[in-house]
Amino acid sequence: MKRVLSMALALVLALGVAAVGTVGASAAWTDTQHWFYSTEIFKVWEPIDIWMTNLLDLQPGESVDFGDREPPYSGDILYDYDLVAEHFASPSEAIIAFKASYAWVLTMVVEFYGVVAPDELWALCDATPPAAAWTEAEIAAYNIAFGLIWRPITDWVAAEGIGNVEEEDFLPGKSMVEFIEKWEAAAARRRKVDEGAAQNNFDNPAAALTEAKAIYAAFLSLIAEYIGLVAPAELWALCGATPPAAATYTLTYDTRGGTGGPAAQTGIEKGAAVTLSATVPTRAEHTFKGWAATSTSTATITSVTVSANTTVYAVWEKDTVGPAPDKILELLSFLPEGVANVMAAIVRYVFFGWLWGSWL
């Protein structure tokens, strides 16, 4: 092997003869090591040389020009048994270098001639063949299959207004910033499977399509995890995935000092409109007026739309007592006016908590 690699069988044989003639000349390797090296590299170059000679219809002495591309190891060293023993501590190390050089040759054939050697030749070099380029038919088929995934999911995302979500649209404890970071990471992955790009990033359409499904399943998972909106099952099926269970919430009734209030309502899906319970709590010296959306409001409501765990609060009105009974007033009227006033004030204060003279 030279910088301009010779494929001529005559040259290959000449190199072999020269190598045999130098066996034993190096003090670094034993004769046995030289013969081992010669035998092992022959197993590599001989079938590859035959394949390339037939492929390119090379004539004895004819060379293949790979331009200014350099092999990882010089053929002048690998084929010279004195030099190879000086450069490598053992035949095993030299064989690894020799295989790497022939793997480079096979790679150059792909690059310059567009032909991939059979797998068994790559295996001789302990190398893996590059994937063949997608055919036009494969590209067209992939674009169709990819469109069947991304179009309906994109339409659903747009219909739900996911692109316009605000901080308040996120589930409790879920960060909009974190959501955006993960979304952008998935979007970066998506660009590699896009039409016109997939064939440059994946060995075959099947691998690209598998990645595309995983990416769109990730989009749907982010929406469910952070916003609580679960896409229809058929969209998950397009990704080969199963939808998570829909997030549910609890509606709690705070009686604010009362008893006998309604039990909490559980298992409520996001966005559900819930009619409040008809169960009426009780509280001493108070009348129940209804339920309010906040603990400070007195405006009563009869239903609530649940988008997170929600609490409604009892609205109470303190009972008031009317004027002193007519019978007591009638009895007091027979007393002198001053005494009657004092007694009426005492009665009202003791029984009704009214202040002195408030009834006069």
Q: Report the percentage of the chain scoring pLDDT > 90.
A: 51
In a domain, 129, yes or no: no
Domain boundary among 67, 101, 124: 124
| Cα pseudo-dihedral 43, 46, 49, 53, rounded to 10 | -140
**Tally of structural domains, the chain:** 4
CA distance 108 to 55: 14
For residue 253, the SS3 value is: strand
CA distance 74 to 314: 89
CA distance 306 to 124: 67
> Are 272 and 285 part of one and the same domain?
yes
Average of pLDDT values for 152-156? 96
> Are 333 and 312 part of one and the same domain?
no
Residues with Cβ < 8 Å from 343, sequence gap 6 or more?
A: 332, 335
**pLDDT tens-digit series, residues 29-55:** 998 999 999 999 999 999 998 998 888
Residues found in the chain: 360
In a domain, 176, yes or no: yes
Q: What number of helices (H) and strands (E) belong to the chain? A: 13, 9
Specify the pLDDT at position 74: 78
Domain boundary among 186, 214, 238: 238
Owner of token pair 């609530």: 304
> Are 86 and 119 part of one and the same domain?
yes
> Are 61 and 37 part of one and the same domain?
yes
In a domain, 149, yes or no: yes
Specify the pLDDT at position 20: 36
Domain boundary among 208, 238, 268: 238
For residue 232, give Cα distances in angstroms to 157, 244, 246, 312, 346: 11, 11, 11, 31, 73
pLDDT of 194 over the 70 cut: yes
In a domain, 41, yes or no: yes
> Are 174 and 229 part of one and the same domain?
yes
Specify the pLDDT at position 331: 66
pLDDT of 351 over the 80 cut: no
> Are 120 and 9 part of one and the same domain?
yes
Specify the pLDDT at position 210: 96
CA distance 252 to 282: 17
For residue 233, give Cα distances in angstroms to 56, 229, 243, 244: 55, 12, 6, 10
Mean pLDDT of the chain: 83
pLDDT of 203 over the 80 cut: yes
Q: Give residue 79's domain range.
A: 5-124
> What's the Rg (C-alpha) of the chain?
44
> Are 355 and 293 part of one and the same domain?
no
**pLDDT tens-digit series, residues 301-320:** 999 999 889 999 999 998 87
3-state helix, strand, coil in the chain (%, to 5): 50, 10, 35
**Higher-pLDDT residue of 146, 77:** 146
> Are 264 and 307 part of one and the same domain?
yes
In a domain, 33, yes or no: yes
**pLDDT tens-digit series, residues 242-257:** 998 767 889 999 999 9
> Are 231 and 179 part of one and the same domain?
yes
Residues 121-134: b if buried by 16+ CB within 10 A, e if exposed: bbebbebebeeeeb
CA distance 98 to 108: 15
For 15: left if phi > 0, alpha if psi spans -120 to 50, otherwise beta; the answer is alpha
